[in-house]
Structure 1
Amino acid sequence: MTTTVPLPVPAFPRRLPAAEPQTPYEQYVYAYPHQKAYRLLEDGPLLSDLWSAERLDALSLYVHVPFCEMRCGFCNLFTRTGAPEDVTRDFLGTLERQARVTRRALEARGEEIRFPLAAFGGGTPTYLTAAELTRLCDICEHVMGADLKTSSWSVETSPATATADRIAVLAERGATRLSIGVQSFIDEEARAAVRPQKREEVEVALARLKAAGFPILNIDLIYGIEGQTERTFKVSLDAALAWEPEEVYLYPLYVRPLTGLSGRHAATPEDWNEQRLRLYRYGRDHLLSAGYEQTSMRVFRRVGTAALEDTDGSGISEYNQQAGMVGLGVGARSFTGELHYTTDYAVAVPEVRRIIDDYIATPTARFERARWAFRMDGGERRRMYVLQHLLESTGLRVADYERRFTTRFKDDFARELDALLGKNWLREQAGTLALTPEGMAWADAVGPMFFSSRVRDEMSSYRDR
């Protein structure tokens, strides 16, 4: 195998710390930097050059399916509702063209290519018909070379689209984790979140998933819905637990610009923050007492459940960003050590439709280069590493950080460290820095404290569309 030469690590740039957190719910940090920090490159690099220094036998494949049957009131994901058959057909055709170009770029070095990890996200991948899901799996296997039968492979679904024929395809092709967005088992709360569904439909979908025997069933719930109380939240928690899922994710409700709930939430920010914190603590304690362990602010895994394995055996985390991720489909991101790249991004319905149409019409040769991107440097790689570890319950091993970057963590992040220790949001024990229970409750405020000035400036200048 070719020896990978480490990228140079420039001196770490100093900056003033982020302002004192005013809310526990500043931003959900699932990858760094956020897509709003990406910009269009005039002459983007060739993918073959970008991937020439990456390890190719431990890649992860991510496919973004930008379609849903409905847009929930809280949703700001890159997705289109009600796409007709000709659009999904043409999308898959373009995705196959993109996959062929990407595969050639990966093969340029002449080394073995393996995908131990795979994920279909969106959107709702099961918006595709059973036949379309079969074609998508064929593209991943026959074009990209992924062995889905042996990969750890996650798929997102919804109650309305978890039909018997779709689930049968995923089970037969070897999916190992199915995640279903339920949000609430109470019909009135679902309507308040602008998610028109009936509990009966949810239960039928869960029965199908359970019967299919996927190794990991994950159920997503939301707290902070208007009118939601500990009593009503317990109804949803207990309804989810009745299905004995291997994982339960608890998401705080966010109301973002250009979403269905924007401007409709009646509670004052102070009251709403208090409600969400109260419900978070209740849900956390309820799941812990039911035999689950907390691995991050959102993730609870049943004790004894094997995590979906990653390439080094440490397990998939909620923070799903890692070097070596190859993204396919409009809205998918790819991560190399030097560059993070994707396609154009928007939330507003007209812009999303335009971007999907543009993707479908993209000339094949254009897929040879990265276009919308963010260039990483030593400082940004440090911040990404910190967020990947500090937001997880296992914490950050200081020695690992300093061995990787050859600088002292306490020097690089002295102000952030002092602030977190001063608030009792962080503890240091046996060389590991980990969030305290209260720090974990404020994880969506802790994460942004480590954003660079460069990323903050790019995000603030992004125009929501």
Structure 2
Amino acid sequence: MTQPVLLPTPTVPHAALTGSEPETPYEQYVYAYPHQKAYRLLENGPLLSELWSRERLDALSLYVHIPFCEMRCGFCNLFTRTGAPEEVTRDFLGTLERQASVIREALEAKGEPIRFRLAAFGGGTPTYLTADELTRLCDISEHIMGADLKAASWSVETSPATATADRIAVLAQRGATRLSIGVQSFIDEEARAAVRPQKREEVEAALARLKEADFPILNIDLIYGIDGQTERTFKVSLDAALAWQPEEIYLYPLYVRPLTGLSSRHAKTLQEWNDQRLRLYRYGRDHLLSAGYEQTSMRVFRRIGTRAVEDTDGSSISEYNQQAGMVGLGVGARSFTTDLHYTTDYAVAVPEVRRIIDDYIATPTDQFRRAQWAFSMDAGERRRMYILQHLLESTGLPIADYEQRFATRFEDDFGPQLGTLLERNWLREKDGALALTLEGMAWADAIGPMFFSDRVRTNMSTYQDR
């Protein structure tokens, strides 16, 4: 198979950000708003104890970022380094423990009961850590942060090479709810074309171990848009994934971003690549729907009857959890309060990632008491965050809830965007909600950026990639 020939995707295309007609279906994956490129370093950030004193503490989420992988895929722009030696992971966990103590102290300053309803270990690849290191990570999360992992809905990301029996045993014993494994393709040649060298037998062996552990939810990630990939080859991967009867399958369009392994490759035309991705997306969507899965967002397909890992025991708690209450632990992890989103420094290039990890390990404990890189959330930004969290999901944007929450109407606040969505037949009203149509869902990565604010667009456009 030939190597991928792909065009880099523009970070902030003009058309999609003004409410006018998007030029490509693949502007940007909006998994959180705003993107870290919109954050800026604070000279003297607020104390965490002050930030969290204004939040409810009975519906928190814990996100732990492990910035290590055994390899870096060609499409990856995550904050991670490969081949970290034992002394680096050991020192990283030591710093994580110091940071956790400070964060817990800040939460306890309010004097109210603290409860984590959701937890996630992401990265990177959390299972890059050894079984003993994973045990220590769980201990930090439970004994220092105070997150009851067995009571929370807890998701962990893994990879075929690191889903070893001893690591899986730790996660199963500690109560992991959901294991997500990045397969991307079951065809070796396609995996190599995406600069992800792996063998199918290694993938199948890892899946066998995960199934034997019997986690409540098994998720398999696949990618479409690899050079040379067709409906026939995509079906091979889809059917191979379906054979394991996973509760979830995620279908990701391939993006090529600056400073990644594929960023120097070029396509004949962007239109040809868009056509390929749209064609494969529609094929994969229809294939999974016919196999007994339901689509809950552009990427997520859940086996009918499966309860989502993010389900909680009350709608108000779930809603708060989406708007604030995210406590991030580790370099690269983001935290969300009502008025401020904050994180650490962020980079993609290997030398910068290593420098930031080294700086994190050397951070004095007192420095963790204040927010560092941050973005302030005013009423307008909270509207946009709410829209993106609901409109891009199959349940849609509840009209009455929006008006009650913000005392304004969606059509008054975002008339140009609404006009474009209706003109393209990407939006319809369903059961009191504004929901994307089937074709609208296919264009979700173009619809999301339409709701970015001018401030976010400016910050992102002036961010120096590194």
TM-score after normalising by structure 2: 0.94
1:152-231 correspondence to structure 2 within 5 Å: 152-231=153-232
In the TM superposition, what is the alpha-carbon distance from 1:142 to its structure 2 partner? 0.4
In the TM superposition, what is the alpha-carbon distance from 1:410 to its structure 2 partner? 1.1
CA contact (8 A) 1:24 1:442 kept: yes
Distance (whole Å) between structure 1 residues aligned to residue 346 and residue 323 of structure 2: 20
CA-to-aligned-CA distance 1:60-88 (integer Å, 9 cap, x gap): 10000000000000000000000000000
Question: What SS class does the counterpart of residue 24 from structure 1 fall into?
Answer: coil
Of 265-274 and 185-194, deviating more is: 265-274
Partner of 2:67: 66
The residue identity in structure 2 corresponding to 1:127 is Y
Partner of 2:13: none
CA contact (8 A) 2:19 2:416 kept: no
1:247-262 correspondence to structure 2 within 5 Å: 247-262=248-263
Partner of 2:400: 399
Distance (whole Å) between structure 1 residues aligned to residue 284 and residue 101 of structure 2: 45
Distance (whole Å) between structure 2 residues aligned to residue 429 and residue 119 of structure 1: 32
The residue identity in structure 1 corresponding to 2:185 is S
Listed as ranges, the gaps of 5+ residues in structure 2 are: 1-16
CA contact (8 A) 2:59 2:317 kept: no
Question: What SS class does the counterpart of residue 150 from structure 1 fall into?
Answer: coil
Distance (whole Å) between structure 2 residues aligned to residue 167 and residue 189 of structure 1: 27
Question: What SS class does the counterpart of residue 121 from structure 2 fall into?
Answer: strand
The residue identity in structure 1 corresponding to 2:108 is E
CA contact (8 A) 2:20 2:420 kept: no
Partner of 2:235: 234
In the TM superposition, what is the alpha-carbon distance from 1:428 to its structure 2 partner? 1.6
The residue identity in structure 2 corresponding to 1:294 is Q
The residue identity in structure 2 corresponding to 1:132 is E
Distance (whole Å) between structure 1 residues aligned to residue 114 and residue 73 of structure 2: 38
CA-to-aligned-CA distance 1:336-359 (integer Å, 9 cap, x gap): 001000000000000000000000
Distance (whole Å) between structure 2 residues aligned to residue 94 and residue 448 of structure 1: 36
In the TM superposition, what is the alpha-carbon distance from 1:314 to its structure 2 partner? 5.7
Partner of 2:105: 104
Partner of 1:425: 426
Distance (whole Å) between structure 1 residues aligned to residue 310 and residue 402 of structure 2: 22
1:108-147 correspondence to structure 2 within 5 Å: 108-147=109-148
CA contact (8 A) 1:308 1:315 kept: no
Of 224-233 and 265-274, deviating more is: 265-274
In the TM superposition, what is the alpha-carbon distance from 1:432 to its structure 2 partner? 1.0
The residue identity in structure 2 corresponding to 1:434 is A
Question: What SS class does the counterpart of residue 53 from structure 2 fall into?
Answer: helix
CA-to-aligned-CA distance 1:132-191 (integer Å, 9 cap, x gap): 000000000100111111111000000000000000000000000000000000000000
Distance (whole Å) between structure 2 residues aligned to residue 112 and residue 137 of structure 1: 21
Partner of 1:12: none
Compared CA separation, residues 316 and 220, structure 1 to 2 (3 A): farther
In the TM superposition, what is the alpha-carbon distance from 1:429 to its structure 2 partner? 3.1
In the TM superposition, what is the alpha-carbon distance from 1:264 to its structure 2 partner? 1.5
Question: What SS class does the counterpart of residue 53 from structure 1 fall into?
Answer: coil
Q: Which stretches of structure 1, 4 residues or more, deviate above 3 A after TM superposition? A: 309-317
In the TM superposition, what is the alpha-carbon distance from 1:116 to its structure 2 partner? 1.2
CA contact (8 A) 1:383 1:450 kept: yes
CA contact (8 A) 1:30 1:321 kept: no
Question: What SS class does the counterpart of residue 65 from structure 2 fall into?
Answer: strand
Partner of 2:5: none
Does residue 79 of the first structure (1) align with residue 42 of the second (2)?
no
Distance (whole Å) between structure 2 residues aligned to residue 248 and residue 315 of structure 1: 28
Partner of 1:288: 289
Distance (whole Å) between structure 2 residues aligned to residue 115 and residue 144 of structure 1: 9
Partner of 2:414: 413
CA contact (8 A) 1:180 1:219 kept: yes
The residue identity in structure 1 corresponding to 2:86 is E
Does residue 92 of the first structure (1) align with residue 93 of the second (2)?
yes
CA contact (8 A) 2:122 2:156 kept: yes
CA contact (8 A) 2:41 2:374 kept: yes
Partner of 2:359: 358
Distance (whole Å) between structure 1 residues aligned to residue 311 and residue 244 of structure 2: 26
Partner of 1:278: 279
Does residue 389 of the first structure (1) align with residue 357 of the second (2)?
no
Distance (whole Å) between structure 1 residues aligned to residue 63 and residue 370 of structure 2: 18
Question: What SS class does the counterpart of residue 116 from structure 1 fall into?
Answer: strand
Distance (whole Å) between structure 1 residues aligned to residue 36 and residue 65 of structure 2: 14
The residue identity in structure 1 corresponding to 2:89 is T
Partner of 2:56: 55
Partner of 1:8: none
Distance (whole Å) between structure 1 residues aligned to residue 396 and residue 298 of structure 2: 12
Distance (whole Å) between structure 1 residues aligned to residue 77 and residue 331 of structure 2: 15
In the TM superposition, what is the alpha-carbon distance from 1:408 to its structure 2 partner? 1.2
1:424-443 correspondence to structure 2 within 5 Å: 424-443=425-444
Of 119-128 and 260-269, deviating more is: 260-269
The residue identity in structure 2 corresponding to 1:147 is D
Of 227-236 and 416-425, deviating more is: 416-425
Compared CA separation, residues 322 and 163, structure 1 to 2 (3 A): farther
Partner of 2:325: 324
Partner of 1:9: none
For these two proteins, the number of residue pairs brought into alignment is 448
Distance (whole Å) between structure 1 residues aligned to residue 421 and residue 37 of structure 2: 26
In the TM superposition, what is the alpha-carbon distance from 1:379 to its structure 2 partner? 0.3
Partner of 1:3: none
Question: What SS class does the counterpart of residue 134 from structure 1 fall into?
Answer: helix
Partner of 2:303: 302
The residue identity in structure 2 corresponding to 1:222 is I
1:329-348 correspondence to structure 2 within 5 Å: 329-348=330-349
Q: Give % identity.
A: 85
CA contact (8 A) 1:226 1:265 kept: no
The residue identity in structure 2 corresponding to 1:179 is S
CA contact (8 A) 2:19 2:420 kept: no
Question: What SS class does the counterpart of residue 179 from structure 1 fall into?
Answer: strand
The residue identity in structure 2 corresponding to 1:161 is T
In the TM superposition, what is the alpha-carbon distance from 1:309 to its structure 2 partner? 3.6
Question: What SS class does the counterpart of residue 63 from structure 2 fall into?
Answer: strand
Calculate the aligned-residue CA RMSD, in Å: 1.4
Distance (whole Å) between structure 2 residues aligned to residue 316 and residue 105 of structure 1: 21
Of 229-238 and 398-407, deviating more is: 398-407
Distance (whole Å) between structure 1 residues aligned to residue 452 and residue 357 of structure 2: 30
CA-to-aligned-CA distance 1:306-350 (integer Å, 9 cap, x gap): 111444556999xx9541000000000000001000000000000
CA-to-aligned-CA distance 1:279-331 (integer Å, 9 cap, x gap): 000000000000000000000000011111444556999xx954100000000
CA contact (8 A) 1:116 1:310 kept: no
Distance (whole Å) between structure 1 residues aligned to residue 326 and residue 264 of structure 2: 36
